[in-house]
Amino acid sequence: MALTGQLSDLSLAELIEFFCNQRKTGRLKVAYSPLPGIFYIKDGELVDARIGSLKGVEAVYYALRQPNVKFDFQPQREAPERTINEPWAQVVLEGLRRLDEGVPVGDPFAGLTEEEIERLREEYEETGETEFSAVAGEEGRRRALGVGVAAVAVLVCATAVGALTDWFGLKRTNAASVAPPPAVTPQPVSSPSPLAPPSETAEASPKEAQAAEPSRAEAVQRQHEKLERRQMERIARDTAQTSGETASAQKRVETSGGQTVIVRVFVDEQGRVSQATVANSRPGMEAYEASALRIARQRRYPSGKSGWVTVPIKFN
């Protein structure tokens, strides 16, 4: 069952974080023009994003700069491919940094013909009806689901009124037996208060629009600060764990013979090495350290969990 709503009081970053915190799996479609933005979430992780010719994090960077529009979320939709391997907090922080510094983003419609745009639009078009609306509130924790209502034409006739009357066990009474209503003494009507001139109403809209701009900027700034805080906490935890593992490995090196280089590698969820550094770099060990880095990168690591791994490489 699809969830639908309007990006008004929250940003795209807060909406995706909401689905990630709920560990959802599905496809989020944001109705940008002329082509929608498509975001795939799997078990609470953003794994794919695409707008026109842009894919991966570049599509996210472009989407963060777009206005708030309608969205819908189709659960249990699998991504055709994985184009994003970084954690969501890291992706959105980089996107907000680029937005603050005015770094240009790619054009998703460059090189696309009208036929290609129309084909992509039809590819993402939904045939089923949306029955629920979902809106994520501040910091991605509030959610309100409302039932979508279909318009129904109602035909009122005498037979329908009679059927409803019989259903509730009511007896229709002859109009002649109904007592006349009591006489009503007319009361003096107070004169209505004068309405405000139209010019005052016309002036209110621009003022409200100007007041909404700072609040929108404040919401983006709060989201930016919150994500930075989470990223710093994660880095602090990883640093503490790294220091402990490096110290233990260093003790083992000191008690063993030969030359040992301690390599720290960051392994993603697919078991691939994305970063590698020497933890105990020493003068005169450049050749050993280069070989150790190459060996550590070529090793196979278990998939399913990302993080730093300490790898001692011993040379006899």
Range 102-135 burial, b when 16+ CB lie within 10 A, else e = eeebeebbeebeeeeeeebeeeeeeeeebeebbb
Q: Does the pLDDT of residue 243 top 60, yes or no?
A: no
Q: How much is the average pLDDT of 231-240?
A: 61
Q: Does the pLDDT of residue 26 top 90, yes or no?
A: yes
Q: How much is the average pLDDT of 12-25?
A: 87
Q: What's the token pair of residue 232?
A: 């710093």
- Rounded distance, CA 46 to CA 228, Å? 18
Confidence of residue 42 (pLDDT cuts 50, 70, 90): very high
Detail the DSSP E strand segments found in the chain.
3-6, 26-30, 37-42, 45-51, 54-55, 70-75, 132-136, 143-147, 259-267, 273-278, 307-315
pLDDT at 4: 77
Contact at 8 Å (CB) between 27 and 37? no
Range 32-70 burial, b when 16+ CB lie within 10 A, else e = beebbbbbbbbeebbbbbbbbbbbbbbbbbbbbeeeeee
Higher pLDDT, 114 or 137: 114
Q: What is the pLDDT of residues 89-119, one digit of tens each?
A: 888 888 888 888 888 888 888 878 888 888 8
| CATH value of 235-315 in 3.30.2420, 3.40.50, 3.40.1710, 3.30.420 | 3.30.2420
Q: How much is the average pLDDT of 236-240?
A: 60
What is the domain partition of the chain in residue ranges? 3-147, 235-315
Looking at residue 269, the DSSP 8-state letter turns out to be T
Q: What's the token pair of residue 183?
A: 């006489």
Confidence of residue 254 (pLDDT cuts 50, 70, 90): low
Confidence of residue 40 (pLDDT cuts 50, 70, 90): very high
> pTM of the prediction?
0.42
Confidence of residue 39 (pLDDT cuts 50, 70, 90): very high
Distance of CA 307 to the CA centre of its chain: 23
Contact at 8 Å (CB) between 264 and 246? yes
Q: What's the token pair of residue 216?
A: 């929108």
Confidence of residue 265 (pLDDT cuts 50, 70, 90): confident
- Rounded distance, CA 147 to CA 5, Å? 11
- Rounded distance, CA 16 to CA 28, Å? 8
Q: What is the pLDDT of residues 272-290, one digit of tens each?
A: 888 888 888 888 888 888 8
Contact at 8 Å (CB) between 92 and 63? no
Q: Does the pLDDT of residue 137 top 50, yes or no?
A: no
Higher pLDDT, 15 or 123: 15
pLDDT at 252: 56
Q: How much is the average pLDDT of 28-35?
A: 87
Name 71's bridge partners: 5, 30
Distance of CA 122 to the CA centre of its chain: 23
21: phi then psi, degrees, rounded to nearest 5: -65, -30
Q: What is the pLDDT of residues 150-205, one digit of tens each?
A: 333 333 343 444 444 444 444 444 444 444 555 555 555 444 444 444 444 444 45
Percent of the chain topping pLDDT 70: 58
Higher pLDDT, 86 or 195: 86
Q: What is the pLDDT of residues 185-198, one digit of tens each?
A: 555 544 444 444 44
